Amino acid sequence: MKFDRIKLLLQDDFIKLQNAKVILLGVGGVGSFCLDCLSRSGLKEITIVDFDTYDATNQNRQMWSELHEGELKVEALQKHYPHAKIINVHIDEQWVWDFNFDEYDVVLDAIDDTKAKLAIAQKCHKKLISSFGSAKRLDPTQIKVDDIWKTYGDKFGSKIRYELRKRGFKKKYTVIFSSEEAVVKAKGSFMGVTASFGLVMCAQTIKKLTK
C-alpha cells in the first residue's frame, strides 16, 4: 500500500500525520518539494498559499513547473495533490495579521518577503518552521536546523533577527538555514540546495507532529 514504508518508520505515530492540519506559505523552490514530501508521507490536510505563476526561470528548481508554464502555482499543484486546499493570494504583512492560523497544527514559512516573515514569526512562533535563504548556494550538506537566535551565515537571516529585536520579539522558533557563504551576489539557485531545504522542512514538520 502507498504509505506502508512510512508506517514502518512511524508505527502508531503515523495516525498523527493523518490527523494533522498544516499550512504551507509559499510553494516555490523550497515549498514545492516540502509539499511533495508531506503528501508522500501521509498528510491529508495541507493548505498551500501563493499568488505567483510559473515561468521558464522556475524550471531549474520548482516541482512540476515545466508542465505548467503560465499557470497559477497553487492551481497547477492541486492537479498533482488534489487533497491540497489552495489559497491564491499575495502573502504580505497585512494578510498575515488578518488570517486565522488557529486551526493549523504547524505553520510552514517558505516565503522571502521580509515584513510578512516577521509578522509570521510574531503571530505563529509556537507552531512555526521557517526557511531562510536557499539561493546562491551549492552545498546541501551545510543546511542546519536551529532556533532563530542560533542561526548564522545568512545575511537575510541576520536582517530578520535584527528586525525582530527592534520589535521586542524574544521568542524562539525553528529555522532552516545554510552555514555556506553565498557563492554569488546574483540570486542564482541550485535545486540540490533548494529542494533539500524543502525536504528538511518536511522532516521537521513530521518531527514536530510526532514528538
With H, G, I as helix, E, B as strand and everything else as coil, classify residue 108: strand
Q: What whole-number distance in Å separates Cα of residue 188 and Cα of residue 175?
A: 22
Q: Where are the domains of the chain?
A: 4-210
Per-residue model confidence (pLDDT) at position 154: 87
Q: What percent of the chain has pLDDT over 70?
A: 100
Cell 546574483: give the residue. 186
**Predicted TM-score of the model (pTM):** 0.95
Which tens digit of pLDDT belongs to each residue from 16-60? 999 999 999 999 999 999 999 999 999 999 999 999 999 999 888
Q: pLDDT confidence of 5, banded at 50, 70, 90?
A: very high
Q: pLDDT confidence of 202, banded at 50, 70, 90?
A: very high
For residue 104, give the C-alpha cell. Answer: 493549523
DSSP-derived pairing of the beta strands 106-109 and 85-88? unpaired
Which tens digit of pLDDT belongs to each residue from 99-139? 999 999 999 999 999 999 999 999 999 999 999 988 889 99
Average pLDDT on 158-180 reads 97
Beta bridge partners of 23: 47, 107
Per-residue model confidence (pLDDT) at position 93: 97
Class of domain 4-210: alpha beta
Beta strands, E only, the chain: 21-25, 45-50, 85-88, 106-109, 128-131, 143-147, 174-178
Average pLDDT on 83-104 reads 98
